[in-house]
Amino acid sequence: MDIFAKCYEKNLADEIREKDLYPYFRALESRQDREVIMEGKRRIMLGSNNYLGLTTNPEIIEAGVHALEQYGTGCSGSRFLNGTLTMHLEMEAELARFLHKDGVVTFSTGFQSNLGIISAIVGKGDYVICDRENHASIYDGCKLSYGKMVRYRHSDMGHLEKLLQQVPENAGALIVTDGVFSMGGDIANLPEICRLAKQYGARVMVDDAHGLGVIGEGGRGTASHFGLEDEVDIYMGTFSKSLASLGGYMAASARICDYVRHASRPHIFSASIPPANCAVALASLRYIEKHPELVQHLSDLAAYGRKVYKEKGIPIMESTTPIIPIYTYEAMRTLAIQKEIYENGVYVNAVLPPACAPSECLLRTSFMATLTEPLIDEAAEIMAKVICAQV
């Protein structure tokens, strides 16, 4: 059998292309901003993870340009060998201080961070216990480890406890959860997760890719939001969202960080974060520290958006974060609505299986701190007309 045969079988992408509903790989012709030019037309951007709007901040752009001039375009090697810059060490030290942890390890991407952390920590005979709605990178990190992965129903603490009760006494256990869930925008029940972990001798890891810069004191994330910074053993996060760059990190005790540096194959065998990306992430971190009011402003805009959505009859999933999902239910209906909204000047993301159940498809809208109330009003008016017409 030809190994390429699967590539020529008809799939969902072919089907939605035939229906002229294909929503992916649309090209930006401008900066990642609150308003963009995409495929030749102005669109209000409600589908970005640029939560604090820092990708266009002049101060942060200048930091990236300066790093290019000082260090060149790349590091040409892994952190383990020739790829460590003094700026990498500076970034790790400042991020550790910001997150109130002893150490930080950086990775080249957020996805790679979960691969590298979980595969290093979870060994043969260990258990990794995951929320069913965790990010795909967590699932792949579990596959790369030699441990046993088990999943609990989304935010179902009773089910989590039953799984913890089944872990053998001589096995290590790591509970891994998103802090802010990327599709639903809801927040993990971290107080109960930490309580159960303590009761059953497990450790806790929080993927805070969508929590950093969004919730917690000054944007410090989910553990800070609940006052549980000392109870969470590992934070994972990305530079590609609130920090306006590319890369990822693990924050933990210095000893755990040192172990991962020497055991994580994705860390050891990948080129390090390029100078400009590191400089932008560091400048963004410093900017957030100087402007903690940005986090509250983002929260206020999201609250305003939820209010406007409800007033216009847009059916939303309840959340308290800048991620505001809109119920659209069936896949083809979701794609049709997304296309019409896009054609009328608003970009949102269609969420389809496997990111959700087949009958629970969504339009994922996400806000950034640089949005304005008039732009939110304009976008909501467009969305409401399209969605209400589809009922």
Indicate whether 85 and 151 sit together in one domain.
yes
DSSP characters over 145-179 = SSSEEEEE-TT-HHHHHHHHHTS-TTS-EEEEEES
The number of residues making up the chain comes to: 391
Contacts of 335 (CB under 8 A, 6+ apart): 16, 19, 21, 23, 350, 352
Tokens of 122: 């979870």
306: helix, coil or strand? helix
Q: Is 41 a catalytic residue?
A: no
Residue 239 near residue 269, CB atoms below 8 Å: no
Catalytic option among 88, 101, 135, 210? 210
Q: Helices 110-121 and 136-144 sit at what angle, rounded to 10 degrees?
A: 40
- Give the whole-angstrom CA distance, residue 286 versus residue 95: 9
Indicate whether 191 and 274 sit together in one domain.
yes
Indicate whether 67 and 195 sit together in one domain.
yes
Closest CA to 183 of 162, 216, 155: 155
How many other C-beta atoms are found inside a 10 Å radius of the C-beta of residue 222? 26
> Total structural domains in the chain?
2
Contacts of 376 (CB under 8 A, 6+ apart): 301, 304, 305, 308, 367
Catalytic option among 101, 241, 267, 339? 241
What CATH number is given to the structural domain containing 369? 3.90.1150.10
122: helix, coil or strand? coil
What are 251's strand-pairing partners? Answer: 104, 235
Q: Is 241 a catalytic residue?
A: yes
Indicate whether 269 and 191 sit together in one domain.
yes
Closest CA to 58 of 295, 244, 290: 244
Indicate whether 67 and 173 sit together in one domain.
yes
In 269-360, the DSSP E strands lie at: 323-329, 346-347, 349-351
Indicate whether 158 and 216 sit together in one domain.
yes
Indicate whether 15 and 96 sit together in one domain.
no
Sheet holding 127-131, edge to edge: 103-107, 248-252, 234-238, 203-207, 173-178, 127-131, 148-152
Judge residue 158's burial from the number of C-beta atoms within 10 Å of its C-beta, 0-12 exposed, 13-18 middle, 19 or more buried. exposed
Indicate whether 214 and 183 sit together in one domain.
yes
Mean pLDDT split into 10-residue runs, the chain, 391 residues: 95 94 95 96 97 98 98 94 96 98 97 97 97 96 96 98 96 98 96 98 98 98 97 98 98 98 96 98 98 97 97 93 95 96 97 84 96 98 90 56
Indicate whether 85 and 165 sit together in one domain.
yes
Catalytic option among 108, 145, 155, 182? 182
Indicate whether 132 and 180 sit together in one domain.
yes
Q: Is 319 a catalytic residue?
A: no
Among 229, 256, 290, the domain-final residue is 290
Among 290, 312, 335, the domain-final residue is 290
Question: What domain range includes position 362?
Answer: 5-56+292-390
**How far, in Å, are 91, 105, 126, 208, 294 from residue 214 at the CA level?**
20, 21, 32, 10, 9
Indicate whether 80 and 29 sit together in one domain.
no
Indicate whether 92 and 176 sit together in one domain.
yes
Closest CA to 111 of 131, 83, 90, 139: 139
Q: Is the pTM of this model over 0.85?
A: yes
DSSP state of 10: -
Specify the pLDDT at position 391: 56
What CATH number is given to the structural domain containing 134? 3.40.640.10
Among 234, 268, 290, the domain-final residue is 290
Closest CA to 258 of 157, 159, 120, 136: 120
